[in-house]
Amino acid sequence: MEKLRNRKEWIKNAIIIFLIVMLILTFCSDSIMNMYLPEVSTEAVTSGKIQESIRGTGAAELSKGYQVKLKESRTIKQINVKVGQAVKVGDVLFTLEPSDGTELDTAKSTYVELQAEYQKKLLGTDYSYDKEKLAIKNAKDDYDKAVESLNGIDSKNAAIAKKQRKLAKYDAKITKYENNIIAYDAEIADLSAKTDVATLQADLTAKQRTLTTLKNELTDIEADLAALQAQGGDQAAIVELQRQKRDKGVEVTNAQNDVTFAENEVKKANDNIKLLDTAKSNKEKANNNLNNYKVKQATLTTEIETLKASVPQKSEAEALVAEKENTWNTLVLEYESKKREDNHTQETEKIELNAAKQKLIAQKKLVEDLMADSVKTEIKAEQEGQVANIAVAPGDISQPETPLAVIASDKDGFEVKVSVTKEQAAKVKTGQTANVENFWGDVKAAVASISADAENPGSSVITFAVSGENINEGDSLSISIGGESKMYDLVVPRSSVFEDNNGKFVLTLDSKNTPLGNRYIATRHDVEVLAQNDTSAAISTDLNGYEYVIVAASEAITPGEQVKLKE
């Protein structure tokens, strides 16, 4: 019994000890686990401005310097310098064979052609208006005769009226109605010929289309002229466009006049339709009255008709006067228009003559220069410096205006070329100043040009113009330049941006409550870096802007892993 009791007591004590140990381990598990968790540091996501800095390193090279060129093709007999050799003004660089170029002959031939063209333009155009003046004089004479004939009608009608007074009352009334009928007939005939609205409207539409076309052409010429002037284009081309603009303006004016005239004709035709109905009604009434009187006085009607037949109709005479006046006025307008056009042509001819003269002068200067160059057998340096490049060999035939050699000088400064991404190149501008970070003293740098990187498609080359003391060709220069400063909603420390095969990302520190206390989890968020500098990066992601991102860790962290904060 004693042994059984001792055994039970031992089991009881063992169970108590086990429970105490398990309780201690439970309460200490948090501390034990934290001992092995990665330790991290965090910073808050903020908003703010970032001015992205672009950095690069390149070797200092002498600027392009002076290019040695010839205006005509010549055979290189001897090269008197070497690449890297220092030369002074007047040193002989190349010796040439006697002139064997064809440029001089071509230039002389062109000069003769330009001279002939200039002589032709000197002759000008003979502007004579004798034919137009004679036609205007004849038209004026025809108009005067028509007016004289119209004025004579009144005297003839007075004689008829004298005889009509001898007639009885019926005679007078018959004469009155006959005169009215004749007037109505003339009016109806005149109005009938002036009521074709459809034809006149079609003519108006055609003229309006012509006017629209001419205006569009004038607009195109003005746009081409403005673009060419803005680009500082060839003066001859500008002058030609100005001439086209003036000529097209005259065509637009004439077309507008044609449209206005056609519009008036359409309006007149519509008015004439109403007048024609009235004239027909009046004629019908006059015919009824005339027929009543003709029954009673047929003999007198015959006598009056015979007398009136010898008198010209006034309406016809008036129409003839209007026709002759219109012909006369048209010839005068055409004469004035021709004179205006000729004046424009004369001004254009003066401009073209001056342009031909300038071409002739320039070509003469070219011939003189080529003649002077053709007797030279030596090419001498025109500035001191160092021979940076030789592009020909003895026996080669040089091409006009193609560099034979390049003489560079440190007086012209240096240039440094840095390859960057196209996105970075888009953030800087030509002329923007930059910093040389690895040289002390008065060193200046600026963006000279931005071009495509031929060796790295998708990249660009920024060429910096650099000047200053103690810089030698071949020195490695580290250059930085600030891009545009912008405001961004999400800005994080640059050290918080990581990258793997799936792209760039940040890890946020997310808190999770448990019975044993808070647990911290590293959560991944894929990001796009919009801009960055030495310390910060602007990102685009699904964050709200109040999170904390991990900037450092005691060991590599896997997204979703539990971590602890650095104390």
Low-confidence winner among 258-267, 270-279, 371-380, 532-541 (lowest mean pLDDT): 371-380
Percent of the chain with pLDDT over 90: 7
**For residue 209, pLDDT beyond 90:** yes
Per-residue pLDDT band at 497 (split at 50, 70, 90): very high
**For residue 251, pLDDT beyond 70:** yes
Per-residue pLDDT band at 193 (split at 50, 70, 90): confident
DSSP 23-60: HHHHHHHHHHHHTTSPEEEEEE-EEEEEEEEEEEEEE-
Q: For residue 154, what pLDDT is reported?
A: 73
C-alpha distance from residue 194 to each of 267, 274, 275, 314, 320 (Å):
10, 12, 11, 19, 17
Q: What is the mean pLDDT of residues 330-349?
A: 80
**For residue 64, pLDDT beyond 70:** no
**For residue 216, pLDDT beyond 90:** yes
- The residue with greater pLDDT, 128 or 126, is 128
Q: For residue 191, what pLDDT is reported?
A: 79
**For residue 30, pLDDT beyond 60:** no
Buried residues in 398-420 as b, exposed as e (16+ CB within 10 A) = beeeebbbbbbbbebbbbbbbeb
HSE, CB side, 13 Å, CA atoms: give it for residue 437: 11
Q: What is the mean pLDDT of residues 96-120?
A: 70
Number of other CB atoms surrounding residue 546 within 10 Å: 8
CA 246-249-252 angle, 5° bins: 160
Longest dimension (CA), the chain: 187
Pairing of strands 385-390, 378-380: unpaired
Report pTM: 0.33
Q: For residue 156, what pLDDT is reported?
A: 67
Q: For residue 440, what pLDDT is reported?
A: 65
User: What's the CA gap between 217 and 226, in Å, rounded?
Assistant: 14
- The residue with greater pLDDT, 278 or 439, is 278
